[in-house]
Amino acid sequence: MSKEEAIPMKNETSEQKKVNRPKKISKSQKNFMISVVSVLAFLIFWEIISYLQIINPLFISSPIGIIQAAGILFTDVSFWTNIRVSAYEFAVGFLLAIIIGIPMGIFAGWNHTFNSIINPFVSALYVTPKVALLPIIIIAFGIGVASKIVIVFLMAFFPIVMSATKAMSTLDQNLIKTARSFTATEFQIFKTIALPSTVPFLLNGIRLGLGQGLIAIVVGEMYASTAGIGYQLTNAGQNLKTAEMFVGVIVIAGTGVVLTGLVGLIEKRFSSWKPE
């Protein structure tokens, strides 16, 4: 019996909460198994197509070929240098986007004047493909690390600002009125209502920003650079070292999956109160 159906009588106990369910494979476990099988099937399919040369392995490589290439690359010092460079560019650009974007977005959602000031720029730049600015960025910041930080920042910043502002505009006015009835100050309202209700939006913005930032790193390094994973990947591709190129792609994809997973974990932690 669910609690929702019950009008509680005065001495209703919490016994009804403890309903023991028979043990079964949980739905999520089952879904996970299905995903694993699906991926394995795909890899086998890929390997076969490549092995039978149905598609030229020069274009698609093969899972085993990629694993071999990875084995070689992972012992190569320059590969790790590339990763370090990209990680640094990404981390700095992305952290800047968060540190500036979140407070700015929240403040814009809180203060109408400030919002009117920045909104035209944010809205316009949000829809601008920032990669179109790469030529100028490279001229201004050089082909080194700085230009990549800038492009990562630019691409991650706007989704983060936009979702932070959006979050504030969806605040429940009834909750605010309730807080006021208890003589709440503006700061208390901000702390107890605005911030907690914005967390899901902020995390969503961060998630969007992550995807954009990873694109930025690769495109930026492809366009003009001397190091980094995008550089390595482009080089490998142009020299028809398809397996090596795929290693780069997988490293980036893996980073995306791990970081998104991390955001998911934080989200879970903040929404433990939510219904399933």
Ordered alpha helix ranges (H), the chain: 27-51, 57-60, 63-74, 77-110, 112-127, 134-141, 145-169, 173-181, 186-189, 195-223, 229-238, 242-270
5 binding another protein? (CB under 8 A): yes
The residue type of 13 is: T
Q: Closer CB to another protein, residue 21 or residue 23?
A: 21
Q: Which of 155, 160, 159, 145 shows the shortest CA–CA distance to 230?
A: 145
Nearer to another protein, 76 or 172 (CB): 172
Q: Closest distance between another protein and the C-beta of residue 142, in Å?
A: 46
Q: Which residues ranging from 13 to 72 are in contact with another protein (CB under 8 A)? A: 13-14
Please state the φ and ψ torsions of residue 119, each to the nearest 5 degrees: -55, -45
* R_g of the chain, CA atoms, integer Å: 25
Contact pick of 25, 59, 182, 238 for another protein (by CB under 8 A): 182
Size of the site for another protein (CB under 8 A): 32
The single residue among 43, 125, 175, 208 that binds another protein, judged by CB under 8 A, is 175
Scanning 55-63, 129-137, 160-168, 268-276 for contacts with another protein by CB under 8 A, the matching segment is 268-276
Closest approach, Cβ 1 to another protein, in A, equals: 12
Binding range to another protein, per CB under 8 A, among 7-15, 48-56, 111-119, 228-236: 7-15
Tell me the two tokens of residue 176.
């605010």
Q: How far is the CB of 163 from another protein (least distance, A)?
A: 18
Q: Which stretch binds another protein (CB under 8 A): 25-33, 182-190, 228-236, 246-254?
A: 182-190
Pair 171, 197: CB distance under 8 Å: yes
Identify whether the C-beta of residue 247 lies closer than 8 Å to the C-beta of residue 66. yes
Residue 169 CA to its chain's centroid (Å): 23
Closest separation in Å from C-beta 201 to another protein: 14
CA angle 209, 215, 216 (to 5 degrees): 85
Binding mask 183-222 for another protein (x = CB under 8 A): xx---x---xx--x--------------------------
Min CB(185)–another protein separation in Å? 8
CB nearer to another protein: give 18 or 21.
18
The secondary structure of 143-165 as a DSSP string is: SSHHHHHHHHHHHHHHHHHHHHH
- Which residues contact another protein (rule: CB under 8 A)? 3-14, 172, 174-175, 177-184, 188, 192-193, 196, 270-271, 273-275
